[in-house]
Amino acid sequence: MLKINCPVCGKCFFWTDDMPAEGKCSNPDCEWQYDIHNELKKNVTKLQEAVTAKKMQCPFCQEEIAARFTVCRHCGRVILGAKAVKKSYIFVAACLLLIVLSLVFKYGVG
């Protein structure tokens, strides 16, 4: 089954498998002829457009990214879902964590 939108009269109708591949618009006053192969092609194009639109974007440089959690290879920022942080922040956070851990070991154990 395929939805066809008549470009002449604007009527929407459904093409089913038992209908011919080429035929007339379901509106008796309209002479437009549909070609199911063309309609299928149009649908595929629409589908491809929808898939393309769903591609993820880096929130900073708007370039395409491969995953929700990744490092953008265009601007080098870390993308954590919707949020993104600079790589250097993570480095600083890791350093602070190490300092805190070393202090805990130094004073906590002794």
Residues 6+ positions from 34 with CB-CB distance below 8 Å: 4, 6, 15, 22, 23, 24, 25
How far apart are CB 104 and Zn ion at their closest, in Å? Answer: 36
Locus of tokens 């922040």? 89
Q: Which one of the spans 12-20, 32-40, 90-98, 102-110 is the region binding Zn ion (CB under 5 A)? A: 32-40
The two tokens of residue 77 are: 């920022």
The only residue of 8, 92, 97, 101 in contact with Zn ion, by rule CB under 5 A:
8
> Per CB under 5 A, does 71 bind Zn ion?
no
> Per CB under 5 A, does 70 bind Zn ion?
no
The only residue of 4, 15, 34, 72 in contact with Zn ion, by rule CB under 5 A:
72
> Per CB under 5 A, does 80 bind Zn ion?
no
Tell me the site size for Zn ion, rule CB under 5 A: 14
The two tokens of residue 85 are: 């942080």
CB 25 within 8 A of CB 32: yes
